[in-house]
Structure formats: structure tokens, C-alpha cells
Amino acid sequence: MGTFNIAVDVDVDGKKQELAFKWTADADQIRHLVDCIENMAVRAEVTSQAFVYGTLRRLPAMRVHEEGDKQEALMMAAAYAVLKMAVADEQADDPDRPRRILDFDFAATQDITATLTVHDNEMHVRINGRPIAH
């Protein structure tokens, strides 16, 4: 099972909020999260990226520490954003070619630490991953 340590830092219109969490998931759980986000985006008639960005932008206005369902939705959006980012795979034949960690089996074998920053109209993710130590 992969481990995702994710820190989210949002600064929108001068309002700031942080959220940090740890998520452990296997390939099926990762696939389920991705399917959920993509289905919600379809129902909202927006792209998955727009759905996630819009959700994360609302973090400062939400009382996530008081309401668990909102916190869960934000954690799902943050995990999806991390899963959609490309990283270099040190074990790939060509380490200069980015590999998407969205490959469920690959993501489930990694210990991933990510910092997700949303600032007004920009979103950036810094990812560090390594194979799970056995």
C-alpha cells in the first residue's frame, strides 16, 4: 500500500488556511478516489482539474476542522491533484521522462510526500516519492 503525506497551503484573496493529512491506499482505493472525483466533475459539468481547483480554493472559507465531511472532500481533492502530477521515476529506463503517478499500481508502491500550494489563480504541487521500504 502506498502512503501519501500531503500538506495543503491555500492563500486566496488574502485568506489563508492549511490542511495536512496522511492517506494510505492500495491500487483499488486510488482508482476509487480518482473515479469519484471524475464523476463529481462530470455531474458539475466541469473538468476534473477545474473541480479540484475550485474545491481547494474554498478551503479558507470552510470550517474543515469542525465538519468532517468537508475535510474529507478537501482531502480527496488534494490527493487527486497529487495523483495527476507527473514525476520522474528513478527506476524507469529514461529518468528524464516524467511518469504519471496516476498509474494506480505504481502509486500504490510509493511513499509520497507532497506539498500542494494554491495561491489566488495558481496551483503548484511539489512531490517527493520513493519505493516503499520492505
Give me the amino acid identity at 112: I
Task: Indicate the domain borders of the chain.
Answer: 2-131
pLDDT in tens, 75-95: 899 999 888 865 544 445 555
Give alpha helix (H) positions in 8-131: 27-44, 48-57, 68-83, 104-107
Q: Is residue 34 within 8 Å of 83, Cβ to Cβ?
A: yes
Strands 110-119 and 2-12: parallel
25-72 confidence digits (pLDDT tens): 998 999 999 999 999 999 999 999 899 989 888 888 776 565 666 778
pLDDT at 68: 62
- Rounded percentage of the chain residues whose pLDDT exceeds 70: 77
Helix, strand or coil for residue 98?
Answer: strand
Q: What is the per-residue pLDDT for 89?
A: 46
pTM exceeds 0.85, yes or no: no
pLDDT of residue 71: 77
Looking at residues 112-129, what average pLDDT do you find? 86
Which pLDDT does position 22 carry in this prediction? 94
67, 48, 4: which is closest to 30 by C-alpha?
A: 4
Taking the mean position of all CA atoms in its chain, how far away is CA 122? 15
